[in-house]
Structure formats: C-alpha cells, structure tokens
Structure 1
Amino acid sequence: MNQPLVSVVIATYNMGRYLPEAINSVLDQTWQNLEVVVVDDGSKDDTAERMVAFESEPRVRYLPTENRGQPKAKNRGLKEAHGQFIAFCDADDLWKPEKLAVQMPLFEDPKVGVVYSEVSYIDKDGIEVDKSIPYQRHSGWVTDHLVIKNFVPFGTAVIRRACLEQDGMFDEELPMGIDWDLWLRYSVRWQFRYSPEITYIYRIWEGQMSKNYRGRYENAFRILEKFLTNHPNAISSKLQSRAWADMYIGRGMSVAHAEKKFLEPLRDVLWSLRYDAMSWPAWKALAKLLLRKT
C-alpha cells in the first residue's frame, strides 16, 4: 500500500534523560513517511538542550510550551499534526522498528478507526522486565468489552484522523484516564483492530502516575459516568450494572491490598453487589475481605 503520513505525538515533561531514545526509536521505523511532534510541557530539566540534536531532522518538530498538564500537551500535538493517521509515544518509552509496518495495513477497512498491538516492558535502565499479566484483547466493535476494562495499551495505538475530527480529542478536564475516555468515545462509531505483535516497549519506573490508584479510580468513575450519560444506549442496562459493579470492586480491592483497610473496601464491595447481586467477582472479593486475604 502507499504510505500515508503518520504523525507521532510525544508529550514530554522532564524526560530529557529518555526523550532522544524515544524519538530515535520512532525515526528508525521501516515506515518512512512520518513526522514527530514533540510537545515540551514546560520541562525544567535539560530537554531543550537534548532537542538541539534534532534541529537538522526535518521530520521532527519541537514545541516548547508552558506547563499545562498532559491532556493539553497531547492535544497541542494533535492540533499540530499533519498526518492522515496519528500515533503516540510516551517520552520514556520506545517503539519497535516494525511498528507502523505491522499496524498500518489493518486500516484497509474504512470502518477501523484504531489499531493497537502488544507491549513489552523495561525498567528505568532499559533492562527487560517480565510483567506477565494476561490481558484479553479485542477486535471489532469493542464497546461492551471496553466499558469493563481498558485493554488498549495507549502507546501502541494508531488512530485515523477522522476519529479526532468526528469524536474529539482528549478531555482536558481529566488529569488521568484520558486514553480510556478517548477509546470509549471512539468505540461507538469505529471498529478497533488488535495486532498480537509486540510493537511498543513500556518503561516502568518509580513515581509514575499509573501507580496512583486512588486518583486513577476517582477519574475512572468520572469517565464511566460521562460515557453512559452521553451514550445512554451504547450498552445494555445489564452491562451498565456490571460495569459499575466492577468499578466498585476494583477500587475496594485496590485500597484493601495497598492500605490494608477493611471498612472502606467493604463498603465498595457491598455497593458492587447492589448493582449486580449475581457478580461472582464481588462475592469472591467479599470473602477475601472477611478472611483478611487481600
């Protein structure tokens, strides 16, 4: 197939240590028709100095801005993107060289709006990490699955520009969970395709936002409420109840495991049973709490 332009958005904040490697991993693609839009969200480290190395690279654009948070930084990158397709790479992560060559052919069907793939993990020093968490991935019309769990690794996703034009960019009012919010909206109108190849390398290090489980669930509740309010007929009432039940179970058990609390997780599990009294995960969670096996 002809190579349409792919715009790769990298929003960065104080990631000068890793950023050049991330950019080079994108530039090293076997797919040559691409551009890299780097949005510097007010970094105070040596990011600007490290970006000097890319001044002569016509495929890289560097946009320093004031610090406004990752949703606004990513949206700035989306607004500056010229490509018919758009992809992402976090500033501390890496792409595999074949990423676009593997994923782009799956857009042959015009109903496909998002193509995503598998991911591997490294530590802060680039050493491979075995994080064997079994995720079930899905293709096609995925709303029913996606409302229960965000199974799309963000950095692996490539999206059709029409998704942005018809269904919007990142919600700038959300400090976390912005990708789940985006995928839910896109899933109503567009099909997703999954490629099992590992095309993305995710770096795990201390202090990442993803470890803020309380903040993550606070925003997840907001996202689910927003989606169901804006798309009341997207899923069945039974599935809506299950989605709420799973949300309460997830938050309760996360708090129980991390903080060794009892009453607060118990309230969440009981709320989950109010939504779905037949939920086996809820009854299992309740037993774990009562037996103090969290």
Structure 2
Amino acid sequence: MTMSRSNPCISIIIPTYNRPHLLPRAVKSALEQTIDDLEVIVVDDGSSEPVVLPEYPRLRIIRQSVNRGTAAARNAGAKAARGSYITYLDDDDQLLPQMAEVSLTALANTTLPQPVAVLSGLEVVDLNGNVTQRRIPPTLPRGKHFFLEEIEPEQSFLSKQTLMVERELLLGIGGYDESFSSRVHTEIFLRLNPVCSILGLPIVTYQMFVHEGSRISRDPSLRQASFNQLLRKHGAIFKAHPKMFADFVYKHALKSYELNQKRAAFLSVLLALRIHPTYTLSQITESFWHSLSESTGRMLTEPLKSN
C-alpha cells in the first residue's frame, strides 16, 4: 500500500499480532482523525496469517517475518515513519477523533522547556462499553523522571499509551529497548523525561478496552522478569527517589498478588519495606498483609499497623 503524502506531520503506528478481529477498529479510529496530515502504519509482528485490510491512501502495512515483540514492532514503525511526530495505538484500543489535533495544538502552544512530548487522557472501557476509569497525566519538565515524581492525587502515570513525540527524538534515545518483553513503556519514559518535557493534557483522547484476550502487561512471567530487569538497568534512578521507588514496588506487589504470583508479591512487599519502611507501612493494609502472609506460610504475629 502506498502513500500519497510523502511527509505527513504525524505517523500513527499500530503494532499488531494475531488480532484480526480487533485490528480494524483501531485502524478505523486512526484514519478518522480530525486532521488529514497523517499516515497510519500497521506493523504486523509476524502474525500467523498476514494482516489484510482495505486499501486507504494514508495506510501502510509493514510485515515482519517473525514475531519479535512489541518493542521491536514499535521501533520498526518509528524507523519507517515519515511523520515529524509519532504516536502509537495498541491494536485492541482506539483513538478518539480529536487525538492528533489536540496533541499538535498543545505542542504548538506550550511554554515548557524544549523538546516537548505530549500525553493526553485515557479511558478504560469494560466489556459492556462502560467507562470504568479515567486517567489524566501530569506535566513534568525536562530533567524529571516520569512515574518516580510525586504528582497530584487526581493525576495518573498510567496513560503512557497516549504519547506523541518527535520521531527523531525517540530514535535518538535508542527507541524502545527490545530486550524487554514487558514494561516497555515504563522503561522508555525513564530515558525520555530526562531529555524531554512531558506535557500532560486533561483531555481524553484514547480508549483502552478490557477484553477476554491476553495483554502482555498482564502476563505473569513476562511482568516479573521485566520488573527485575528494569530495576537492574535503572537502579541508580530508582534509588534517587526512595519514596516513589517503594510505591512502584508496592504496586507491583499488588498486581503480582492479583495475578496469583503470591511469592513474588510477598518478596516485593519486603523490598518496598526495605526501601522506604514508613511510606510502605502507610500504604499497606492489614488484611492484604495477612492474606499475603498466609498464602506464603509467613504469617506475622503482630499486625503491621492499627486500623
């Protein structure tokens, strides 16, 4: 498939793997943006059956011969992109029509230290089509460490999927680390924010859909391995933010417990307690600790804190 426009302003990159039933919705939402100065690149990451989509002037399909993972697919899309800016869309989600226009307008009017990337709001939509969460990102100037800084309670770091960033900047910091199977968003933001301001917009432009299929972010083994890899690679940055480091580890413990990784959850709680005991004790609930302790055979005789 060919493009009629050689240098569009924005490239919307959609990595996909074996989701032909979900992909058309994502592609449709990308093509229905309120601006025309864009291209849509679908990166078929070695699907069992090659991606087949109707032809559109602004749509390209890139097929990788083997499945190389989401980080590699994202990098392949960025390298092939012709846009000055790039953004990504998961193949099981969708953009709202104003995503590209809202992001570009904000970038044109920002007074943050250059260069600047933009994040916008994200909605989580359940199986019945109901919005169950609304996540609004913070604004952090260049030199900060995204998700390790303290932010307002109504803000969330869990909107990284909405990133719009200059293509050359993303490639200049090495793109996504292809050695990571999970935590790829978290890892790249630890390299991006120190050299790039992050402008957070209180406008929802992205919908994340809950469905019965798998998400890499919820694969227990991949999450655990990439979590440990992340701490090894960026250990110095984590240690410079002990309170938020403990918060990050404790939230990992909660998710591990939810995914039935009880031992990993228990060890993560212990690590959080070592990093910042006062903060961790203020977050942990007695019922969660007792439940976790019982499941690992390490029940404590004294409650961690009073009700």
**Quick one: distance in 2 between partners of 1:11 and 1:290?**
39
Partner of residue 69, structure 1? 69
Percent identity over paired residues: 25
Structure 1 residue identity aligned to 2:119: Y
Q: Does 1:182 align with 2:188?
A: yes
Cα shift readout 1:245-267 (whole Å, capped 9, x = no counterpart): 23432333334444384x66444
Partner of residue 81, structure 1? 81
Asked whether the 8 Å contact 2:139–2:198 carries over to 1, the reply is yes
Q: Does 1:218 align with 2:217?
A: no
Structure 1 residue identity aligned to 2:273: L
**Quick one: distance in 1 between partners of 2:211 and 2:34?**
29
**Quick one: distance in 1 between partners of 2:224 and 2:243?**
16
Q: Does 1:60 align with 2:63?
A: no
TM-score by length of 2: 0.79
Q: Which moved more, 1:8-17 or 1:218-227?
A: 218-227
Partner of residue 10, structure 1? 14
Partner of residue 104, structure 2? 104
The equivalences for 1:1-150 within 5 A come to 5-45=9-49, 47-48=50-51, 50-51=52-53, 53-54=54-55, 57-66=56-65, 67-108=67-108, 109=110, 111-123=114-126, 127-132=128-133, 135=135, 137-141=137-141, 143-147=144-148
Q: Does 1:194 align with 2:200?
A: yes
* Pairwise CA distance, 1:4: 6.0
Structure 2 residue identity aligned to 1:282: L
Q: Matched residue of 1:278: which SS?
A: helix
**Quick one: distance in 2 between partners of 1:236 and 1:216?**
21
* Pairwise CA distance, 1:15: 1.4
**Quick one: distance in 2 between partners of 1:84 and 1:10?**
17
More helix by share: 1
**Quick one: distance in 2 between partners of 1:222 and 1:58?**
41
Structure 2 residue identity aligned to 1:34: L
**Quick one: distance in 2 between partners of 1:72 and 1:293?**
36
- Equivalent pairs, count: 276
Q: 1:248 to 1:44 in 2, by over 3 A?
A: same
Q: 1:250 to 1:34 in 2, by over 3 A?
A: same
Cα shift readout 1:195-237 (whole Å, capped 9, x = no counterpart): 11111111211222222245324313322432344xx5xx873
Q: Matched residue of 2:132: which SS?
A: coil
**Quick one: distance in 2 between partners of 1:213 and 1:93?**
21
Q: 1:208 aligns with which of 208, 215, 234?
A: 215
Q: 1:168 to 1:34 in 2, by over 3 A?
A: same
Runs of 5+ unmatched residues, structure 2? 1-6, 151-155, 294-307
What is the root-mean-square deviation in Å for CA atoms of aligned residues?
Answer: 2.9
Partner of residue 268, structure 1? 268
Q: Matched residue of 2:71: which SS?
A: helix
* Pairwise CA distance, 1:13: 0.6
Q: 1:193 to 1:119 in 2, by over 3 A?
A: same
Q: Does 1:250 align with 2:251?
A: yes
